[in-house]
Structure 1
Amino acid sequence: MPEFDLDSFKKTWQEQPVQEKYDNKEILQMLNRKSRNYVKYIFWISVFEFFFFSVMGIFYFFQGDETNGFLSYLEKLGARKTPEVENSFDNIYLILKILSLVVTAYFVYKFYQNYRKIRIEENLKGLITRIIKFKKTVNAFILISILLLVAFTSIFTIFIFYSLNSQNIEPKNSELIIFVIGIVLTTGLSALLIWLYYRLVYGIIMKKLDKNLIQLKEIDSQEI
């Protein structure tokens, strides 16, 4: 019986050519499908956000809760709640709400466009380009959401000072300091919560999309 050489067997086994489980074309198809799904998830999340905030905005608008909360700030600073002040605030509030919904609807449309383009895209370089553009769109959506919050708060704050000035009211310095600190802290906390929300909800999906992008670039480099 011939002697069994374990070292020789290992060497022979290691030298055997390893067959790839999937070729680049199959991997590309899988990454394309996964990428479409990730973009679709973000699209449907944005659709849900749009309808959710639309319903909540309409509800609070007719309830008048946000209006009463704003006017209470004016009263605490000594201003009178006149019909002119109420009408002016209602108009500003309605314009800002519509602007916010228009911006959100625009990004919902952009996400849908990105989803459709990735769905029919078969070219490798084109797919990479689509994913990179989609990432930029998501980042722009997050940034603009935070900027809108800051802009809206600034407009409301300016309106408060305008209302006080129009009524020739000069609140105490201590009241102004408390008011300004409260506005800054509330705005900063709200912006942080928005960032954390998108970081958690969108970030999980974007990390997976980033992995797909890295794999696609690796395939592209092999084909050059």
Structure 2
Amino acid sequence: MDELDLLKKDWNSENPEFKSYSDSDIYPMLYKKSFSIVKTLFYISIAELIFWLLASILPYFLSSTFKEKLETSYENPLFLGVNIFSYLVIFMFIYLLYKSYKTISSTDSAKKLMESILKTRKVIKYYVVFNLTIIFLSIPLSFYFEYNENLEFHKQVVEFSTNQMLVLYAFVVLVAGVFLILLWLFYRLIYGVLLKRLNKNYEELKKLEV
């Protein structure tokens, strides 16, 4: 049980003397915890950006085959556009989190802190939904690019029977689904835990506002 939980326990006791000081004691703790959570979210987003950059850059320099395929893929406007858009969204997400982090660090009002928490929650949820959508679409798109750019693969697929095509489509959907579930579990574990704590702080601030 942390310091805030101990204070809340005493706050709910029958001691009227303590209750008269409850708001002034509890708000700084809620502020400190909310600030710490948003700060952690910001650092996680930076780490995630670095991870995706390394995942894209390292294979390019370590594998000549991957390098050739990637350069060929970038000749396709759709592939290039999706990649640029994805990184733009990540940078925008980091900027919005940084903005929330700076807002919370300078606020002295419970109402403004609540507004910042609400904005942070929305940003995280939209970002998670965006990433899940991109992952779900990236597998079929990769298959589409491979089908159009890889002549050997194209010839093999053209010769597939109806049953083989159904198996191939099922495999593509299965792979996309697995990646989607894994990414959802990752966000559930990392962002979900922090958002739950942020929501808890928000509910406590609402009680102070009553």
Same fold at TM > 0.5: yes
Question: Partners in 2 of 1:41 and 1:18 — Cα distance?
Answer: 36
**Aligned twin of 2:8:** none
Tell me by how many angstroms 1:118 deviates.
Answer: 1.2
Residue type of the partner of 1:129?
E
> Do the aligned residues in 2 keep the contact of 1:54 with 1:101 (CA within 8 Å)?
no
Q: Does 1:123 align with 2:109?
A: yes
Question: Could you say which structure has the higher helix fraction?
Answer: 2
Residue type of the partner of 2:131?
S
Q: Does 1:89 align with 2:80?
A: no
* 2:144 alignment partner, one of 145, 149, 158: 158
Q: 1:102–1:64: structure 2 CA closer, same or farther, 3 Å change rule?
A: farther
> Do the aligned residues in 2 keep the contact of 1:31 with 1:212 (CA within 8 Å)?
yes
- After TM superposition, the structure 1 = structure 2 runs for residues 1-224 of structure 1, keeping only pairs within 5 Å, are 17-20=16-19, 22-64=21-63, 67=66, 88-92=72-76, 95-162=81-148, 169-221=158-210
Task: In structure 1, list runs of 5 or more residues that go unmatched.
Answer: 1-13, 69-82
Question: Partners in 2 of 1:152 and 1:48 — Cα distance?
Answer: 22
CA shift digits 1:49-80 (9 cap, x unpaired) = 11121112101223348849xxxxxxxxxxxx
Question: Partners in 2 of 1:130 and 1:23 — Cα distance?
Answer: 22
Which one scores higher on RCO, CA 8 angstroms, separation ≥ 6? 1
CA shift digits 1:136-192 (9 cap, x unpaired) = 100011100011112322322333454579879343223322221111011011111
Residue type of the partner of 2:91?
A
Give the aligned CA root-mean-square deviation in angstroms: 3.0
Residue type of the partner of 2:163?
S
Residue type of the partner of 2:183?
I
Task: In structure 2, list runs of 5 or more residues that go unmatched.
Answer: 1-12
Question: Partners in 2 of 1:63 and 1:16 — Cα distance?
Answer: 67
> Do the aligned residues in 1 keep the contact of 2:136 with 2:179 (CA within 8 Å)?
no
Aligned length, in residue pairs = 193
Q: 1:90–1:38: structure 2 CA closer, same or farther, 3 Å change rule?
A: same
| TM-score, L = length of structure 1 | 0.74
> Do the aligned residues in 1 keep the contact of 2:136 with 2:176 (CA within 8 Å)?
yes
Radius of gyration: which is bigger? 1
> Do the aligned residues in 1 keep the contact of 2:135 with 2:180 (CA within 8 Å)?
yes
My pick for the range that moved more, 208-217 or 16-25, is 16-25
Question: Partners in 1 of 2:105 and 2:49 — Cα distance?
Answer: 23
Question: Partners in 2 of 1:96 and 1:67 — Cα distance?
Answer: 18
- Percent identity between matched residues is 27
> Do the aligned residues in 1 keep the contact of 2:35 with 2:101 (CA within 8 Å)?
yes
| TM-score, L = length of structure 2 | 0.78
